[in-house]
Amino acid sequence: MTGLSAIPSISELVKRAKAEFTAQFPGYEPTVVTCAPGRVNLIGEHTDYNDGFVFPMALPLVTIMAGCIDSSSSQITVATTAQTTDEPRVVQFESPKPGLPLTPGKPTWANYVKGVVQCFNLASIPGFKAVLVNSVPVGGGVSSSASLEVAVYTFLEAITEVSAPVLQTKALSCQSAEHKFANMPCGIMDQFISVMGKAGHGLLIDCRSMESTLIPIDDPDVSVLVTNSNVRHELTGSEYSDRRRQCYAAAEIMKVKSLRKATMKNLEDHKDKMDNITFQRARHVIGEINRTMDAADALKLGNYKLFGELMIESHNSLRDDYEVSCNEVDELVDSALECPGVYGSRMTGGGFGGCTVTLVKTDKVEAVVSHMQAKYSGNATFFITKPSQGAMVIEK
């Protein structure tokens, strides 16, 4: 279809990863191949670290890790093929031992690998060689970082034959790796959906209880369009930290454990006790938690009109109250909403660039993409996506 980018199949990526591995490590053969997806969040942004609800789906865009145990060494050597990452693109470090933990450093992409290895919670991890191949846009707001972390964790499970006791543990370990090694205080959503996604379904996640509900997204007459603005968001952690702090400050003023426990009435009652920015941040989160629950209910009933309206409300709130959008993303959302057949559109991910997600009638996709391309001042990339499977071992 004109304007739409093709998503490489997992089999294509596996073939590429194996070829890269044998070129990088002559004399070795990859015996373990794992896969973990990125995600698009349909609604529920910046609610996860406030104990709220999120509603993501796993993408067919994935990270592949192919490698083998190196029985002759305790060294871990990992190469990445992602050209947008910092150099060097091959790193080597000792497997962690009691009293000799790994520490973050340069290059920054390797910190995600090191963090997962360190947080794997096994006394001894064998040396190994591996290659990473990625189809998830780095910095695109569809969670290339969680995809990488979960692919690494799944690889470690395969080579050690030690699996997380429950899937939540696996997701939490990967989240801990990002907190400690990438200095990114993310919520649990990205790792959770990468671990637990299921083909044909979105996943409504309660970030307080860690319970989740699968909701079918399989109507052939409705499509999910992901548009990458190709404005790369480079979150240093300060944006998250600032907003987390503001949310926690609002919760403390209202004397609730988290904004999950607050209502709009609580917020209005305490408005005179907080500055305007803190008020706006809390207003977004409280409203977004309610919107996410309502949106999941609407989708169960096939009420795409209501779902789309809630997406639009979400974007406006993220733009105005949470202030995490940008001109390019707003431009894409606005142009999508000008098109017949579009139910709703919003930014997705942490913000400051990245992607938009649009719910659109399938027979209108081509016209919508053409219109968005014509109106956008930059060079956007368009993908039609289906809810995909979570992390898996492909070969062992």
Active-site amino acid positions: 190
Encoded amino acid at 190, one letter: D
CA angle 324, 61, 161 (to 5 degrees): 110
Report yes or no: 267 and 279 within 8 Å, Cβ to Cβ: yes
Compute how many other C-beta atoms are within 10 angstroms of the C-beta atom of residue 298. 19
Q: Which residues on adjacent β-strands are paired with residue 55? A: 43
Give every CB contact of residue 100 below 8 A, 6+ residues apart in sequence.
94
Encoded amino acid at 59, one letter: L
Residue 155's φ and ψ, nearest 5 degrees, are: -65, -45
Report yes or no: 366 and 223 within 8 Å, Cβ to Cβ: no
Give the residue ranges of DSSP H helices in 255-322. Answer: 264-269, 276-300, 304-320
Residue 212's φ and ψ, nearest 5 degrees, are: -140, 155
- Find, among 114, 104, 105, 99, the residue nearest to 153 by Cα: 114
- Give the tokens for residue 256: 């609730």
d(CA 34, CA 14): 9
Report yes or no: 210 and 229 within 8 Å, Cβ to Cβ: no
Report yes or no: 214 and 297 within 8 Å, Cβ to Cβ: no
d(CA 241, CA 142): 20
Three-class SS of residue 250? helix
Unique residue bearing structure tokens 């919003």: 346
Compute how many other C-beta atoms are within 10 angstroms of the C-beta atom of residue 98. 7
Three-class SS of residue 218? coil
Instruction: Tell me the chain's radius of gyration from C-alpha atoms.
Output: 21
d(CA 366, CA 353): 23
Residue 224's φ and ψ, nearest 5 degrees, are: -105, 115
